[in-house]
Amino acid sequence: MKILHTSDWHLGSQICGRKRYEEHETFLSWLLAVIKSEHVDILIVAGDVFDSTTPPNRSLEQYYHFLAQAAGSCCRHIIITAGNHDSPSLISAPRELCKYLNINVIGHVTEDPKDMVLVISDEDNRPSIIICPVPYLRDRDVRTVLAGESCNEKIANMISGIKSRYHEIGRCAEDKRKEIGCDIPIIATGHLFAAGGITRDDDGSRDLYLGNLACVGADAFPPCIDYLALGHLHLPQKVCGNNHMRYSGAPLIMGFGEAGKTKSILLIETKGDGPVSVQDVRVPVFQQYLQISGPFDHIASELTRLKLESDSIFVEVLLDDPGIIPDAQERIRSITTGSPVEVFRIKNIRLLNQSVQKHGEDESLDQLTPEEVFIRRMDSVEITETDRQELLESFREIYTELLEKDTNLE
């Protein structure tokens, strides 16, 4: 059987306030074409279907339109799990209807690990593969909050809870395989930050579990898993070099920090009781993004060169000039007027560095993350280093809870 592993679509996302509906539409059309050309049997989407718990209606329309088309293709089963950006209740809401289309939507983990074990049969109705569709495991799913816990204790309990969940589900999958009486492969999903995971600045990955301190090691996953389809990290990568523990990565760049990086989805093939094979399928560039940095003259030269390009290019400029450039923003934007080159954002590195040195003077909120705002506030008062670290850990925990709150749940 052929399985296509993708994740982190982030439908409804924006870059510098610009909506990306056309890019997502083009990606979904391309993905459907891959499903058909590769004769894919199973599609797995490992979390972060949407960019927020309250996606715009147009993104919902894109999502359901794609599912309807994919369900009517050669793809006989679709597995979708919620990520940390998703609303579990929104993902699960059409569950009963989706079942009729052989679409399994899993918003949250259940108490009974047997519920997280699906047996997929082939065209002759013979069991061919077991899938354990584990969504993003929220704090409450894996541990009991204890008063007076230190940060290290919280992290240890969280990692232990995640490991226990996966091993419970793994045992149920093994029991099901023995019951079937055939050594069919077991595939599991996950949406988490694995130890050794690689991120980039401005790649859109949001911290999990106390600022990503609770990284999950490869030993958290039972050895019975033949392939682990992961989501959350936006760069395609292997877990600890293991070819069968993979992040597909986000199919579109999520920030200018990823500009020019290769994006991919993963094609997995199973053949009887043999090992699964994994193949990277490169995602085309649907919209070109570019980051240009350097002094003013270099930036002006690069933008002038880019004006000759026939395709649309979105640019972020990092102006790093030792001199004072009068009307720098206006002069930079005027270079590309009337061309396919559009300057989305201009950052004056020298001024930004001066602002940091002045402890936040002349900084605007849109230049700072919420955590950076909180750090600036701590900088403004006398706090011991111990208290500072505890306050920062508490802030991260509270902020994560707010971001993950399922506003659709009643």
Averaged pLDDT for residues 287-292: 94
Give the largest Cα separation in the chain, rounded: 76
Residue 15 is predicted with a pLDDT of 92
pLDDT at 321 over 70: yes
Of the listed ranges 35-44, 158-167, 254-263, 382-391, the least confidently predicted one is: 382-391
36 membership: H or E segment, kind and range? helix 21-37
Residue 13 is predicted with a pLDDT of 96
Rounded Cα–Cα distance for residues 340 and 28 (Å): 24
Extended beta strands in 91-239, E state: 103-106, 118-121, 127-132, 186-191, 227-231, 237-239
Q: What is the DSSP string of 214-234?
A: SPBPGGGS-TT-SEEEEES-S
Residue 377 is predicted with a pLDDT of 81
Residue 365 is predicted with a pLDDT of 64
Task: Quote the tokens at residue 274.
Answer: 């043999």
CATH class of 288-364: alpha beta
Rounded Cα–Cα distance for residues 42 and 338 (Å): 45
Rounded Cα–Cα distance for residues 333 and 259 (Å): 20
State the pLDDT confidence band at 271, using cuts at 50, 70 and 90. Answer: confident
Task: Quote the tokens at residue 40.
Answer: 């894919």
43 membership: H or E segment, kind and range? strand 42-46
Residue 407 is predicted with a pLDDT of 67
Averaged pLDDT for residues 169-197: 93
Boundaries of every domain in the chain: 2-282, 288-364, 368-410
pLDDT at 71 over 60: yes
Residue 189 is predicted with a pLDDT of 98
Rounded Cα–Cα distance for residues 123 and 120 (Å): 10
Of the listed ranges 165-169, 206-210, 211-215, 275-279, the least confidently predicted one is: 206-210
The string of pLDDT tens digits covering residues 83-111 is: 999 999 999 999 999 999 999 999 999 99
Q: What is the DSSP string of 307-368?
A: TT-SS-EEEEEEE--SS--TTHHHHHHHHTTTSSEEEEEEEEHHHHHHHHHTTSTT--GGGS
pLDDT at 355 over 60: no
Q: Count the residues in the chain.
A: 410
The string of pLDDT tens digits covering residues 46-66 is: 999 999 999 999 999 999 999
H and E: helices and strands count for the chain:
12, 17
Residue 386 is predicted with a pLDDT of 76
Residue 10 is predicted with a pLDDT of 98
Residue 406 is predicted with a pLDDT of 65
CA atoms within 13 A on the CB side of 195: 10
Averaged pLDDT for residues 181-209: 79
Residue 92 is predicted with a pLDDT of 96
Residue 409 is predicted with a pLDDT of 64
Q: Domain 2-282 is of which CATH architecture? A: 4-Layer Sandwich (3.60)
Residue 351 is predicted with a pLDDT of 64
